[in-house]
Structure 1
Amino acid sequence: MLQESVDALFDNGRRGRVILGTNKRPLKSLSDIIKGKQGRFRQNLLGKRVDYSGRSVITVGPFLKLNQCGLPRKMALELFKPYIFGKLQFMNLANTIKSAKKMLDNEDPMVLNILEKIAKVHPVLLNRAPTLHRLGIQAFDPILTDEKVIQLHPLVCSAYNADFDGDQMAVHIPLTNEAQLEARVLMMSTNNILSSANSEPVIVPSQDIVLGLYYMTRKDINSKGSGMILNSIKEA
């Protein structure tokens, strides 16, 4: 009896007979606590929750500039929450954190206005796992959207080895002024055009972009004005 209890403590069900608790469920043994994805090692020691970060599916943003990414407005409200609270108190729009939080939860127009101003000057970091080289995490200027997905410029996909078939990316916020400066100077996508491995360009058009350029620049002899050479857009 004692041996069965000790065995159940270390590995319940090892002897074939599972010991049940008062609620008729198998008792959780020490090995159950440790093993598996939800176990102590993988859940708590090898992986931790990261503050000021988010995660969402990526999709293409064809109207974005190379240094921009589309960020869901609801995600941005959560990521930039400390900055919004600080700004509300500085402007005497909220006396306490509780009142500031209530304004944010109600998506007060003043809160959304402050968020737009913060997003214009605060870069964000986008990371796609697995991060195999330096360009696996880059900085972008966020453009707030009403969608629930992260929009990515198509030319930076090759650096991330990303495609739009359900891939997810993580967003991180550099908090200190030094971190923001480093993100803008060293990690901005426009400053990482060449590969650090072989110095070849990683910002290379492909697929639909190449096809579009071909259609835009092909000669159409029968069309009106074909073959004309213009010095400026005004002449056109």
Structure 2
Amino acid sequence: MLENIYDRVNDYTQVHISLASPNDIRSWSFGEVKKPETINYRTYRPEKDGLFCERIFGPERDWECACGKFKGTKHKGIICDRCGVKVTHSRVRRKRMGHINLAAPVAHIWFFKAMPSRLGALLDIKTASLEKVVYFQDYIVVDPGDTPLKEKQ
């Protein structure tokens, strides 16, 4: 007899939640988003290397590449040599991730604005000081070395 998906909920004894490292995120990614554009205003198609790119996130239409060279399930799994889109069903767009390479590291607002500040508690820094560092208004000495500066100054 078929097992109901809700019956399997009790099979788990624990749930582990952790932050993803940059290497983990890149390994999950299907490509880098390089442009802020979403859809071309003339063609109403996703912009290449944009936030809705078909090469990164998958085809917009089932079993069809972006340029239309390959159509139908007979070309299943083929990567188009013109547009670089893999011929598959469009549902993969809901599951695939892309990534953005940033010039400087960033902190998500939830980690330093939430009360109590998780990042502030972890680093043992007041929220006001941490906010200045996050917004590049101030800095923190991590390793004073041979200078007269003190750590966390």
Common fold by TM > 0.5:
no
State which structure, 1 or 2, has the greater radius of gyration over its C-alpha atoms.
1
Q: Which has the higher contact order (CA 8 A, sep 6+)?
A: 1
Q: TM-score, normalised by structure 1?
A: 0.20
Q: TM-score, normalised by structure 2?
A: 0.27
